[in-house]
Structure 1
Amino acid sequence: MEDTAIFAGGCFWCMVKSFDTMPGIDKVISGYTGGHVPNPTYEQVSSHTTGHTEAVKIIFDPEKISYKQLVDIYWHQTDPTDAMGQFQDRGDNYRPVIFVKDDEQRQIAEASKKALAESNQFDDPIVTQIEDAKPFYPAEEEHQQFYKKNPLRFQMEEMGGREKFIKQNWQK
């Protein structure tokens, strides 16, 4: 039996690898969600006129990896204190959001966010939003599995602040 999870944490290229390499994850799809334009293109989302956020949809086997584990992986690749982008990627289309499909996912995400806030790991408040899932539209093919197709460009994106932040804040 498969389940799904949707997370936004900046550029979707940088969100795929951490999930894609985990046992129990069948597929990670880069795409757009949260907006009001059906079937948006990358150019439309980048124009900040669609309301969409770049995100990843994860198809996973809950018998091998839990939704809670996915939320933990998500936190460890984002800056949960930055509401309007992630690292070098700025704007509402890069905002950090956990999109939940039901009450169970909402409870897990909310509890995890609360625990992170109470951990005092960060001086600033945890501002990642938790929102109801909306239709998810897969991105164009060139954006799928970007870290495999364009390893040098992917590495440059990672070095744009994400890699350093993760090392400083999550790999303690």
Structure 2
Amino acid sequence: MTWVNWSRNTATFLVGLSSFLPVAHAQQLDEAIFGGGCFWCMEETFEKIRGVKSVDSGYTGGRTPSPTYEQVSQGNTGHVEVVRVQYDPRQVSYNTLLKAFWTNIDPTVENRQFCDVGAQYRSAIYYLNSEQHQQAKRSKEELQGTGKFKKIYTTIEAAQPFYVAEEYHQDFYRKNPLRYQYYKTTCGRENRLNEVWGYKPK
């Protein structure tokens, strides 16, 4: 067999072999949207969870297209400060995200979270499909069933258009650690979470 023929036969063999080798599939990520008051704090909460690939601060649930932070802060657009969580369902479940959500909010108050007052800071779960809807409802019912809370004001709503917040809001806790810690402390967020859930967030 000549060198040329051997090379051709080898190339043909390798091409045929490739059809039996496993193919690397693109990573399939799911999304979840939560409103838990100031999105800076919720961003930190979810980014620390293994399996979460990205968290974006933004706005949803309102009437004004592409709202700005100033517009939302005035409370006239109907939007809520939220985070959009992209996660790998093979590494972390939606139920795990729900548990992280509940234990980082105060579900006993309406149209506010901690020192931030207004409907734009209300707590809410926005489901993107029927499975998320059922799991979210079940988690709320189970929490209500514990008898720990007289009433839970957190709403469960169908997802609406999500608008990414301004760049300076993204990863605020990383970019501005001193300002962020000052905000959390003066807002009383950690102290209130300790009162509600019996633990102090790290």
TM-score under structure 1 length normalisation: 0.96
* Rg larger for: 2
* Structure 2: tracts of 5 or more residues without a match: 1-27
Provide the residue aligned with 2:163 in structure 1. 137
Deviation (angstroms), 1:157: 2.1
- Partner residue of 1:99? 126
In structure 2, C-alpha distance between the alignment counterparts of 1:64 and 1:75, rounded to whole Å: 20
Match of 1:78 among 105, 129, 132: 105
Amino acid at match of 1:145: D
| Residue of structure 1 aligned with 2:184, choices 151, 158, 161 | 158
Which structure 1 residue ranges, 4+ long, deviate > 4 Å from structure 2? Answer: none
Amino acid at match of 1:167: N
Q: Which residue of 2 aligns with 1:16?
A: 43
RMSD: 1.0
State the number of aligned residues.
Answer: 171
Identify the residue that residue 31 of structure 2 maps to in structure 1.
4
Greater RCO (CA < 8 Å, at least 6 residues apart): 1
d(CA) in 1 for partners of 2:198, 2:51: 23
Provide the rounded CA distance (Å) in 1 between the counterparts of 2:95 and 2:198. Answer: 19
Contact 1:14/1:157 (<8 A) preserved: no
Give the whole-Å Cα distance in 2 for the aligned partners of 1:157 and 1:90.
14
The answer to which structure has the higher helix fraction is 2
Task: State how far apart, in whole Å, the 2-side matches of 1:75 and 1:35 are.
Answer: 23
- Cross-structure match for 2:197: 170
Does 2:88 match 1:61?
yes
Is the CA contact 1:29–1:144 (under 8 Å) kept in the aligned structure 2?
yes
Q: 1:33 aligns with which of 60, 69, 78?
A: 60
Alignment partner, residue 6 of structure 2: none
Shift of residue 152, structure 1, vs aligned partner: 1.4
SS of match in other structure, 1:64: coil
> Which residue is 1:118 aligned to?
145
1:40-82 Cα deviation digits (max 9, x unpaired): 1000101111110000000000010001110100001000111
- Give the equivalent residue in structure 1 for 2:17: none
How far off is 1:169 after superposition? Answer: 2.4
Percent identity between matched residues is: 48
Q: CA deviation at 1:110?
A: 0.4
Q: Give 2:175's aligned residue.
A: 149
CA distance in 1, matches of 2:108, 2:81: 18
